Structure 1
Amino acid sequence: MPFYLLFAADANIDFGEILTGFLAVFAVCGVFYVVEPLTYFPILGPAGMYQAFMIGNVSNKLLPSAIVAQDAIGAKPGTRKGEYAATAPIPWGSTHDSMRPSLSLRNRPPHSRIPAKMAPDPC
């Protein structure tokens, strides 16, 4: 986008303004780029980190499931047993999210899945 603004668009923006905007955003978001991996690694381990960052939504879904799994079997974070326990629930968290729409359709009555113009008359 910055290259488009500089070279293709007639936006009358110079490189200094683009650099200022980039640095402002990086000052806020760049901290997470460093802090998140450092804080997640002791809990998830290397395999869990790879899976979690490939799937996404680490702090809201995958990290809590890893902590609950470690707690359920009594594993301490940072140990090999803790890494295995943290890696196991991560794929299930993503599978749950991808299966949610199909499961919600399955629990409806059969006639509600048919479009209204094709549904049989309930009377």
Structure 2
Amino acid sequence: MNVYDEYIKDVTKIGRFTMILGLIVSILPPAVMTWGFGFNPGIGAIIAGAISQISVSGAFYFSEPISYFPIVGRAGLYMGFLSGNLVNMRIPAAVSALEGSGYKSGTDEGAIMGTIGIGVSIWVGIIFLLLAVFAGQSVLSALPQSFTTMLSLIIPALFGGVFAQFAIKSPKAGIFAIAVAYIMTKAVAFIPGQPSFIVTLVSVFATIAFAKKQLSKQIDGK
């Protein structure tokens, strides 16, 4: 067993433990409110809320690990899912680390660079979160309205930047992804309840299938 395999073995042990610990900590507050203080909305409300949340983000359970694993590897997935903000903070940081290091996604070296990028973003996020908690509200209230309106464009800008970095490497796959997402967005509008998770599910797996087909053609042509 080489060094990287030993590293992954240790990552798996620690990652599973921290994910289970995170699950327990997440359940602890509502458990205390329910059995400690007697505040409970009722099983009907809990089931309704669970169904509502699953309908919105249930597709991410399947699409995100598959989409992000080549970029951040196993350790990055454990860290990203435990810390949160995977799409709008961790993945851009991991992509920047990959671009800066020169390693390719899908390789052992690339996975390590992606993990380092996520680790740095977590510490930076903690520092800025502490600053925002203690001074953020007073600073934001002093900013002009035009600036605070501009802040709402940060997440679309991050999505666009990450997409562009990968679309440049495979323009056909990028165009296909945009086309499928646009078509699915329009199609979902006609479905009762407008289940938006279908857009993500179809777009991710359809683009993976398209990119795989393109890669097969390139390999066969050599």
Q: TM-score, normalised by structure 1?
A: 0.62
Aligned counterpart for 1:82 among listed residues 85, 110, 118: 110
The answer to whether structure 1 residue 34 and structure 2 residue 24 are counterparts is no
Worse overlay, 25-34 or 77-86: 25-34
Aligned residue for 1:64? 92
Larger Rg: 1
Tell me the amino acid that sits aligned with residue 65 of structure 2. P
Residue 41 (structure 1) shift? 0.9
Tell me the amino acid that sits aligned with residue 101 of structure 2. I
Residue 63 (structure 1) shift? 0.4
Q: Percent identity?
A: 32
Kindly tell me: are residues 98 and 24 of structure 1, through their superposed partners in 2, closer, same or farther at Cα, counting changes over 3 Å? closer
Worse overlay, 20-29 or 70-79: 20-29
Check whether the contact 2:96–2:117 (CA below 8 A) recurs between aligned residues: no
Q: Give, in whole Å, the separation in 2 of the partners of 1:62 and 1:79.
A: 18
Q: Give, in whole Å, the separation in 1 of the partners of 2:56 and 2:67.
A: 18
RMSD over aligned CA atoms reads 3.0
Runs of 4+ in 1 over 4 A off after TM superposition: 4-7, 17-22
Residue 23 (structure 1) shift? 3.8
Worse overlay, 26-35 or 66-75: 26-35
SS at match of 2:104: coil
Q: Give, in whole Å, the separation in 1 of the partners of 2:93 and 2:46.
A: 40
Residue 74 (structure 1) shift? 1.2
Q: TM-score, normalised by structure 2?
A: 0.37
Q: Give, in whole Å, the separation in 2 of the partners of 1:98 and 1:72.
A: 23
Gaps of 5+ in 2: 1-29, 31-39, 136-222
Residue 27 (structure 1) shift? 2.6
CA offset digits 1:17-55 (Å, max 9, x no partner) = 975664454233211121111111111100111111111
Check whether the contact 2:75–2:115 (CA below 8 A) recurs between aligned residues: yes
Kindly tell me: are residues 22 and 76 of structure 1, through their superposed partners in 2, closer, same or farther at Cα, counting changes over 3 Å? same
Aligned residue for 1:91? 119
Kindly tell me: are residues 6 and 66 of structure 1, through their superposed partners in 2, closer, same or farther at Cα, counting changes over 3 Å? closer
Q: Give, in whole Å, the separation in 1 of the partners of 2:120 and 2:52.
A: 37
Kindly tell me: are residues 18 and 47 of structure 1, through their superposed partners in 2, closer, same or farther at Cα, counting changes over 3 Å? closer
Aligned residue for 1:114? none
